[in-house]
Structures are given as C-alpha cells and as structure tokens.
Amino acid sequence: MVRIAQRPADADHPYGHHKAEYFAAGFEGLLIIVAAIGIAWTAVQRLMNPQPLEQLGLGLGLSVISSAINGGLAWVMLQSARAHRSLAVEGDARHLLTDVWTSAGVILGVGLVGLTGWIWLDPAVAIAVAINIVREGVHLMSRSTEGLMDGALEPEVQQAIDQTLDQFRHRAIRFDHVSTRRSGRRRFVDLHMHMPASWSLGRAAAMRAAVEQALMSAVPGLRATIQLLPTDVETGYTEEKDPL
C-alpha cells in the first residue's frame, strides 16, 4: 500500500493514490484487534482452568529480548511515520507495540505469580493487556476511517495557513471560503482570493502565485487551489438535500 500511495496522479486518479495508506492502517488495526481477542480467549481459559507456569527463566528471557527488539524497531518506525506523515508505517509500528505490551504483560504476570504464588494473576494481567491492545486497534481503525472521509487538516497546520494568508491581507486583498483536507501524506487547501477588478490578469496571477508559494513553503506537502475573484463578488453554493 505504501508503494501504491507513492504512484503519481493519472487519468483515473487525478488527485493521486495517497489514500491507499488508510487501507493498510485499517487492516493493521483489525489484525491488532484479532490478536487481542486471541490473547483474551487464551487468558480466560487459563483463568477458568489454572495451570502451573513452566520454563519461567527461558520464557522471561525471550520476552525481554523480543520486547526490546520490537520496542526499538517500533520507535524508529514511529519517527519515520511522523517525518513522512505515513499512516501505514505508523500502523505497522503500532502493531509492533502490541507485541511489546504483550511481552510486558508476560513479564508482569509471571513476576506477580512468582511473588505471590497466585496463578490466576497471570491470565488476569493478560486480559488487561488484551483490553489495552483492543483500544490501540480501535484507535488505529478510527484514524484510517477518518482519513478516508477527507478530514480537515490538524489545527496547528490550519493556524500556519491562516498566518501565511495574514501576510497578504490588506485593503485590496482578502480571502474567504478556506477549506482544507487530508489525503494520506498529501494536504490540500481550497480558497477564494478577492482583489480589485481593475487589476490586470498578469498582476492578479502573479499575486496568486506568490500566495501559493508562501503556503507551500509554510506547510510541506500542501497543494493549494486558489480561485481569483473581484473584490465585490461573492460566490458559494448550498448543497442540495437528498429528498429521500
């Protein structure tokens, strides 16, 4: 899905293939939830039929090693996901973090059993870990669904856009109908730019180009679409309601 998301725009997908990452993240979230269900099911069985723990030394050693490796790899992937704004890579990192939580639960459960002798504590901790993993999976699926629904840009990004537009606002120029959306790592902003009708087309186009360049410099990965209008012209439409 990351490879598909990197494909350039074509005739069938004029806005690119960036949303492919949301499908990957949603699938990762589903896998996380399935894993949590498996953990909870096994834990309930052991809670109803307690069994003594075996090979504690080897089990704890492997859990610590796997937790350290998965935790380090997940941290690197999260940094990369933030740098490239890739939800697919973040989903993979979150998937690895569930393994870290599982290993931590094993260590905690075995440690508590060793200290107290209460065998039921091990499956009880496993159930708590499973609940936390479900929360992580639901959150990831929710984010992927929100992305597919063209959510607005983050508040801090919208603030950067507003601050950039403020640099060009004066008596002759104003902006309205500013709307933003996300599509994978790509960001979009659409707006109306009003200026005096007496300006030449060349002057108006040059000013629009300056605004576009400033916006793209302020917000990496931004694609700006600016409609030029005379100062005294207002546009807009009301979406028709479905009669059904």
Residue 204 and residue 116 share a domain: no
pLDDT value at 233 more than 80: no
Q: How is residue 55 written in tokens? A: 């090979």
Together in a domain, 131 and 174: no
Which among 5, 18, 32 is positioned nearest to 140, based on CA atoms? 32
User: Is 168 found in the same domain as 124?
Assistant: no
**Can you give the pLDDT at residue 238?**
54
Boundary-marking domain end, from 148, 182, 216: 148
Residue 243 lies in a domain: no
Element (H, E) at 161: helix 155-166
Amino acid at 92: D
In a domain, 36, yes or no: yes
What is the count of structural domains for the chain?
2
Domain that residue 213 falls in: 155-230
pLDDT in tens, 23-53: 888 888 898 899 889 989 988 888 888 777 6
State yes or no: pLDDT of 71 exceeds 60: yes
Per-chain mean pLDDT for the chain: 83
Q: Write the CATH number for 192.
A: 3.30.70.1350
For residue 148, which of 240, 10, 29, 237 has the smallest C-alpha distance? 29
Same-domain check for residues 30 and 58 = yes
Q: Is residue 238 part of a domain?
A: no
- Amino acid at site 128: A
**Could you tell me if 120 and 168 lie in one domain?**
no
Instruction: Please report the pLDDT score of residue 175 as a whole number.
Output: 92
Tell me, yes or no, whether 77 and 186 share the same domain: no
Q: Among 124, 148, 172, which residue terminates a domain?
A: 148
143 and 24 in a single domain? The answer is yes
47 and 117 inside one domain: yes
Residue 199 forms part of a structural domain: yes
Is 49 found in the same domain as 33? yes
* Final residue of a structural domain among 93, 128, 148: 148
CATH value at residue 77: 1.20.1510.10
